[in-house]
Amino acid sequence: MVEDVKLMHEMGLEAYRFSIAWTRLIPDGRGAVNPNGLAYYNNLIDELLSYGIQPHATIYHFDLPQALQDDYDGLLSPRFIEDFTAYADVCFRSFGDRVKHWTTLNEPNIEPFGGYDTGSLPPRRCSTPFGQGCAGGNSTTEPYIAAHHLLLAHASAVSLYRDKYQTEQGGQIGITLLAFWFEPASQKLDDVKAAARISDFTFGWFMDPLVYGDYPLVMKKNAGSRLPALRAEESVRVHGSFDFIGINHYGVIYIAADLDQLKQSPRDYSSDAAVKYITLPFQSSRNKDGLRIENHPAPWALRKLLDFLKHKYRNPPVLIYENGAGHEPDPSGRFVYNDEFRSRYLQDYIEATLQSIRNGSNVHGYFVWSFMDVFEVLFAYRFRFGLYGVDFGAENRTRYARHSALWYGDFLRGGALRPAAAVTDSGAYSQ
């Protein structure tokens, strides 16, 4: 940990985003706090601050304690709201004197889809024909229930923070959503409507309640009674329950209408949107549930997304918490130093962010995903996103700087945006 924070300082990072593991802090999900877990995060936060690096802490990042899943089916029960709020209270009380940027949930708009519709993510619940190989579940209802409880848990934690901690601690609190840009596959009216529909079914699913106090109209129409209703008091609590919106953005997805899906009975979450994904080819042949993350830059998509936030959602304060590009590791096991594509990707997206700010978007920060290679939820170790590479075969997981780390460090120290090819094999910039 100490060595990693030193690398952050040497690179010139001003802030570092990390997630607190619920079970590391409270092993059983509720009850006694683990003093070793408490010490770990205190040490990390103090080490970051000693180098002048702002800690940005996420409270929940797809890591529901197994004990709560076993006890009451986790996100499917409203009991999750109370337990999550109590856990958040421990976080605020223990670290809030130093952590000034809190995120309640990471990507709650993707966890219900993967965990309760397709069954591709934990707890792997689904029903045929929408998902395969699940031990139980109902793809027609459970994604909506899980998301509803996540939304209410978020609002409950924000209410707690504002009532009990925010005035004294002086921090900010928000939520982080996965935010692809959905582009119509053609200018046909059906495709244009389909792109707007999938945006409502993924991004608007949370943004509409947060900004306007209710779910999108198209979700209420297409999902009907399967979408839980926000009661009046819940709507009041959810509405405005953020100081900022975090977005994780990786590229564009092209959308075509598939209106035949609306004729299915019963329908699931994904068919309620009545779309099919069409994406451009990119460096990897990997595909996941019809959705690909593009590895080549599409910075115009970020500009469109930020403009969309500005106009549809009243231009909220935005922190871009994830943006980056991955590559498959060398099959021979050799280290990959020359990641010119990543430096070019980051340069293009940073430039797009600057253009959006100049155009009035309320962007307050930008974070690269990721500082170093990590275990990926979708790709495990098959994709590497790090500016710093990690030798996973070494006992101490040795870190090594890729060219993108050198490029990004130079940029943060005031260097001009420049082609990544200007980085030489020696780690210096050519003139």
- The residues carrying an active-site annotation are 107, 322
Long-range contacts of 371-377 (CB under 8 A, 24+ apart): 371/4, 371/7, 371/8, 371/13, 371/16, 372/4, 372/399, 376/326, 377/62, 377/121
Burial status of residue 109 (CB atoms within 10 A of its CB: 0-12, 13-18, 19 or more)? buried
Place of tokens 């304690």: 65
User: Within its chain, how far is the Cα of 125 from the centroid?
Assistant: 21
Extract the tokens encoding 136.
């139980």
Residue type, 65: P
Of 22, 117, 19, nearest in space to 63 by CA: 22
d(CA 280, CA 323): 18
Which helix (H) or strand (E) is 202 found in, with range? Answer: helix 189-202
Secondary structure (3-state) at 300: helix
Extract the tokens encoding 354.
């600057």
d(CA 184, CA 96): 43
Extract the tokens encoding 360.
């009035």
d(CA 47, CA 9): 11
Place of tokens 């003093």: 35
Which helix (H) or strand (E) is 54 found in, with range? Answer: strand 54-60
Length of the chain in residues, anyone? 431
Extract the tokens encoding 101.
């940027």
- Residue 67, CA distances (Å) to 49, 73, 138, 187, 360 in order: 34, 9, 21, 49, 46
